[in-house]
Every structure is written in C-alpha cells, then in structure tokens.
A and B are shown apart, each in its own frame.
Chain A
Amino acid sequence: MKTISFQKGSFEGQNLGESIELSCDVCIVGSGPGGATAAKIFSEKGLSVILVEAGPYHQAERFRMHEHEGYSALYQDGGQRTSADGAIQIYQGACVGGGSTVNWTTCFRLPEATLNDWHENHGCKSLHQSDLEEPYTKVEERLGIQTTPESGVNANNAILREGAHTLGWEAARTKRNVRGCAQTSFCGLGCPVDAKQSMLVTHIPDALEHNTMLLSRVYAKAFSGSSRVEKLECIALDASGKPKNDIDVHIKAKNFIASAGAINTPALLLRSSILKNCRGARHIGRRTFLHPVVLSAALMRTRVEGFRGAPQSIASHAHITHGSEESPAFFLEAAPVHPALAASALPGIDLNHRRAMERLPYIAGHIALMADGFYGDEGGHITLDSSGRPKLHYPMSSWLRHGFLKGHKALAQLQFAAGARALLSTHTNMGWQRDALRINALEVEDYRPNSFFCASAHQMGGCAFGSDPARSVVNDEDARVYGIDNLQVIDGSLFPTSLGVNPQLSIYALATHYASRTL
C-alpha cells in the first residue's frame, strides 16, 4: 500500500489504480448536510480534512433532468432502496452533496416541541434551542434560505393550500434554499442551473477552498483501532459504483466523523468491530425513523402539471399537534408528479394503471408525513446483510397504521375541498373514488404492508444522542460516540425521534453547532 501525502482538492475513486494510505487531521464519511457542513467548519479552522463519499461527483452539467439517469446515478441502490419487507420505498441521496443534491429544498427549523420531547423523554440535557440560533443565522444566510415568493407556488401546491384553507386548516408558504430558482421542477434529479443551494455549491466548495481533500467514489467499510479509531478502511468504487476489490484506501486521522446519514451511519458503525464494545453499542441502528408517507392522487378539472415548478412550496402543519397514544401526528405537503415517480406510486397494472397515467397532467399529488418516534414508538432498526449492506426493518405498527388512515382521510377531505373530481388512495384494491365514502370507510386492516404506496425521503435516527450513555449512542454535549473519544457522529442519524418537519435545516444547524465547538 503506497503512502500518499494529503493534497487539497477533489479526487475520484474510479480513477485510482492502486491501494493507497492517506493521513489527515479529520476524516469525515459522507458529504451530505452533516458531513459537508462539518468539513467546511473544520477546514476553516485550519485542520486538514478528508471527506469520503461513496457516490459520484456530479455537477450541474451532468444533471440532465432525465428520470432514467438521475435516480440510478444519485440515489441509494439506484433509487430502488426499500425497507426489508419491500413495503416502504426509501428515497435517499448517494452522491457528493448527499440528500441536499437531490432534495426538494423545503427548510424548517427544529420545532421547539420536538426538542422539548428530547429533553423530557430521551435524556437530551445538553442541547438547547438557543445553541442553534447562531448556526441557523449562518446557514440561512449562506444557503439563501427564504420564504418562497408567491410566483414560486405551482398549481399542485396551490391546490394543497386552497383545500387546507377551505377547511380552515393552517397552510403557508415554506422557506427554500434557492437563489434564482428557474422553476425547472427537477430538484429531485440535481439542480441543472445551480439555483439550489445544496452542499454541492455551498459548503463543499467552501471546504475545498480551505484544506479539504474530497474523495468521491470511495466507500467506507469500517473504522478500525482498539480503544480509539486509528484508521478508516475504504475501498475504491468504479464509475458505476461497484467495488474495485483490489483497490483499498486507508485513511489515518486524529479524529473521525461518521456523516453517512441515517441507515448508512449505523451500518458503518455496525461493520466496525471497534464499536462492538462501546457503551451504546446495543442502541446502534435502533430507533430509525422515516416520516413514513402516504400519498393521495387527486384528479382535478383543469391541468395541474405537477411536473412543473418548484416541487414543494406549501406545507400544512394543522395536524401536527394531533398525535396521541393511538396514532402519530402528521403534516401535509405536495409531491412532484414526474412520470416515473407517479408510475411507481399509482396502483395497478395494465390498462388500469395506464388510464391513471394518461391523466398525469390533471393529477395533483399530496402526501401526509407521519411524525414517528413519539408516544413510545420505536420506529425501525438496522441490521447488515451478508455483504455488509444495511437492511432496514420497519414494522408497520397499529399506531402507525392509524396515522396512515387519518392521513389519507385528511388528504381526501382536503383534495375534495379543493375541487378534486376523484382520487386514488394508492391502495392496490381500490380504484378512483368520486367521493370520500370509501376513504372514510377504510380501516387499519387496509394498511397491510405492500397493499398501498408508502415511502420515505426523510431518514433519521439510528445513533441517538443524549446525556445518558445507558440510553444513547452519542453524547449530546459534543456528538462524540460514548466510549470512543475521537469518533463523532454528525448527521441526521443523531435524532432520537423524527422531527415533525423536513430535516435538512436542523442537520445543518446541528452540524454547525457541533463542528464549531469541538476540535
């Protein structure tokens, strides 16, 4: 193995022809909101940072707005990731910039009620809302986070707002991290005009300008060492993301950060035998949350063209306080109606499915996102398959199914209030509904896994932080893994519950907070 000296700049694993060893001050796995933000801050402090990313380094000119290219290149498992029983479609970024490169740009601060719940029920004593004020200000400024102008609300989102307001429910324009949005609607396939202020065009170039070496197409297998992590063992990938088995990349560092995102960070820790004896080992991968989504597709009288304009600009949190022991709270948002996305969500095959697709321009798509992890809910957990890849086991508890039921009923009410002619709940045994009768007659039993469309774009938890090492993997004081001094977790896997709002801004803020106060 050849020793190579640290050199700032970006390097691509697929072009590497021999095994190498590198050294630096801080080695970070994952270039999404957590990892990129940490890289920026540590390198601005003058530390040498190596940022390891399994996905490709694609930039605007590669974002050609084609569904057949984008999902396979930029998403985990080429866009085919699901929960272990196939019941939940998992959309998760797998490229430089992580989820920020492909997300829909909605920004919310961490709700006070969620943080209070962490204080009361999850032993998070050290983190306070006031700690995040300065990080929010910095991030909102750098990422151009601002309320969407009225001109940025497309018909799909306007229908969501109209339905909510007709029913007297709160619904308002959201903030987005964009500058000069061209309304292409293709946020989910990478912004072709760099209007989206993702990590790709903000914190990563900031980091590269300082002292960061970005290694794309390099997959982190495991941390190794005895009581401290001594090195990160990686393997180079080829251009299509397959392992080049003979080419290893080993990285020695003083400090290591796991920022591979929920599902993947727990998997990385589970693969690392050094973590087996850490104090929170048995919690690794536990309490993984998804904001599981049910969708309702409404057939409108006029063209909606949900494949045009910003995918999300309106949200309704009217039901976010309605959680209980019986069912989760939820919030309502719009979902873009691009053909491949719609095709997998709409039920049926053959002519049934085709007829629904032929109405695509008239379809409005709205989702109810469940706030999982509250009222005793444990969410899902991660194990490894035979090749060391993560498997997410996420049971559809009765509590969750009650939430799906309520979510679907709320969506139906909203869509009919906004003038829908008919709607599809996505149940495999139900066609178009011209009124809410059958939707209102739905029961919890109708939510058996794989009998309706369920998805997640917000993976959270699996390495919960807190002040009590008996209950948490990571210390909420400094994001260090309990028992391993030089290993931190900085990404969405820190959350002990879901958030009840879209997570990216909370991840930027937490990453800023922890990276600023450590090392």
Chain B
Amino acid sequence: MKRRGFIRWGSISAVGLFGFSALKKNLFSRYTQTDIATQDQLESLSHGSFVVLSAAVDAILAPSMRAAFPAHRLALEIDKALSNNSPANIADFSKALWALEFPLSRGSTQKVLFRFSSLSRSERREVLDGWRLHSLTTYRQAYEGLRKLTLATYYARSERSQILGYSGPAFVKAPAPLHKGNYAQQSKSWSAIGAKPSKALINAMQTQRPKAQQ
C-alpha cells in the first residue's frame, strides 16, 4: 500500500514536472515572503518544497491567524515537526508538495500555466478544495495531511490558542508531586561503568564547568 502510494506520487509528479519543464521558475513566482527562510534553516524540506508549503499554509490559515502569526513562520515550525518522521514519510510529503506545485500533477483544469505558489490566495484555496473532495484517495490524503499538520502546529502553542478561551496549562511550574514515591530516578553516567560518554555530553559538561566556576 505504502509502495503503491509512493508509485502514485512518483508518476503524478513526473507528469507534472514534464508538463512544467518549459516554464521558468521566477516568471510566475508570486509567493516571495518565503525568501526569509534559507535552506540551512530547514530541517526536513528542500527550499523549493518549503516555498510550496508556505503557500499552502497561507491558504489554510484564516486571516486573523495569519495576522497573528505569518504563514512562512508556521511553515518553519512544520518543517521542524516533520523531522520526527521517517525519511520515507518526509520524502512522500515532499512529493505531495511538488504534485501540488505543478499544474498537470495537481489534477485541476484551472490555471494550468501557473505554479501553485504563484497563484493568488483564493486560487490556492480552490486548488486545495479540489483535493479535499478528489475521487483519488492520494489527493485527499495529501490534503488531510497538510491540513492537520498546519492547524495542529498552529494551535499547539497555547499563546496562539488562548484567544479561543483555552485556559492553557493548569499551572506554569508543576508543584512537587502530590503522591510521594520512590520513583525520582537520576540517570547514571556511562563513564561510571567504563563506557565512553558521547562528545555532545562532554562538550556540554565542558561549557557548563567554566560557568559554574565563575
């Protein structure tokens, strides 16, 4: 099934790339805000996929949400969240973004000469709406995946949800455990049992030491 999904995206994006190869990138690129993110800020996606993601996020967020938090910044958070996924899933997500970007692969008959990221917001919304109700499950999957990831990432921050009347965490700092047990376990150091600790740990300890001495 997974393999089939992969092949489907593979062939859909191949059609899209072929149909689009004649079009020059900059000629149609209207979605420029994403220049703010550079490739080295990204953990999961290529810069190209990131531009498409930002354009999609911009169409998914309601105006008041975008006003409170710009779409391309949310796209950066999504890129970070994606890094928890397997490389195969991230690759699939990228393929879905490319399928969205190129006219022939996005499966719609409108604006066939334009990349998704060059469309106006209302046109991008229309394209996404087409995916929502598409007869092929692959498109619906991509729509739902994009939608859920965008909206869950947005509302996961309580500072962005409080406006809804969400009370947020019950307290800022957890009080001492109510039920005292014997469970507060400190992890032991590998060197105590003869194994070499990681470089990261050694570095962290070295940077902490001078601070502690100051």
A residues with a Cβ closer than 8 A to B are 2, 4-5, 7, 9-12, 14-18, 20, 57, 59-61, 63-68, 71-72, 77-80, 82, 84-87, 89, 179-180, 182-186, 192-195, 200-202, 204-205, 208-209, 214, 216, 238-241, 244, 247, 303, 305, 307-308, 338-344, 349-351, 353-354, 357-358, 360-361, 383, 385-387, 389, 391, 393, 428-429, 448-451
Contact = CB atoms under 8 A, between A and B. Distances in A.
B85 A78 contact: yes
Interface in B158-179: 158, 161, 164-171, 174-175, 177-179
A305 B133 CA distance: 32
B22 interface: no
B61 interface: yes
Contacts of A247: 198
B123 interface: no
B161 A216 contact: no
Interface string B137-154: 100111111011111111
Given A209-B182, A389-B86, A391-B2, 15 more contacts: A15-B190, A16-B195, A66-B158, A72-B81, A78-B83, A184-B169, A192-B171, A202-B183, A240-B84, A338-B166, A339-B164, A349-B147, A349-B151, A387-B86, A449-B140
A307 B165 CA distance: 10
B190 A16 contact: yes
Given A57-B187, A354-B62, A195 B178 contact: yes
B141 A85 contact: yes
A440 to B, nearest CB: 22
Interface in B179-193: 179, 181-190, 192-193
Contacts, number: 248
B41 interface: no
A495 B3 CA distance: 28
A296 B209 CA distance: 54
Nearest to B189: A15
Contacts of A194: 177-179, 181, 183
B84 A72 contact: yes
A61 B190 contact: no
B65 A180 contact: no
B174 to A, nearest CB: 4
A179 B89 CA distance: 40
A349 B178 CA distance: 41
A149 to B, nearest CB: 15
A155 to B, nearest CB: 13
Given A10-B188, A77-B86, A87 B169 contact: no
A164 B89 CA distance: 41
A343 B155 contact: yes
Contact of A15 (B83, B157, B198): B198
A209 B181 CA distance: 12
Contact of B185 (A68, A208, A239, A360): A208
Given A7-B188, A11-B188, A16-B190, A80 B174 contact: no
A339 B156 contact: yes
B155 A357 contact: yes
A204 B187 CA distance: 13
Interface in B6-54: none
B104 interface: no
B73 interface: no
B84 A361 contact: no
A339 B188 contact: no
Contact of B132 (A12, A338, A428): A428
A340 B156 contact: yes
29 contacts: A4-B194, A4-B195, A5-B194, A7-B192, A9-B188, A10-B185, A14-B200, A15-B197, A15-B201, A61-B174, A65-B168, A67-B152, A77-B86, A78-B81, A79-B152, A80-B82, A84-B1, A85-B141, A87-B141, A192-B171, A193-B179, A194-B181, A339-B166, A340-B152, A353-B151, A358-B164, A360-B165, A385-B86, A428-B132
Contact of B166 (A9, A180, A307): A307
B140 A450 contact: yes
A386 B175 CA distance: 45
Nearest to B176: A193
Contacts of B147: 349
Contacts of A61: 174
B211 interface: no
A417 B165 CA distance: 26
B124 to A, nearest CB: 10
Contacts of A12: 187
Contacts of B166: 307, 338-339, 360-361
A87 B148 CA distance: 12
Q: Which 6 A-B pairs have the closest CB atoms?
A: A78-B84, A65-B169, A354-B62, A450-B140, A86-B141, A194-B177
Name which of B133, B156, B167 has the most chain A CB atoms within 10 A of its CB: B156
Contacts of A200: 183
Nearest to A61: B174
B77 to A, nearest CB: 8
Contact of A343 (B140, B154, B192, B193): B154
Contacts of B157: 66-68
B89 A77 contact: yes
A59 B184 contact: yes
Nearest to B82: A80
A344 B152 contact: yes
A2 B143 CA distance: 49
Contact of B183 (A201, A305, A353, A450): A201
A129 to B, nearest CB: 31
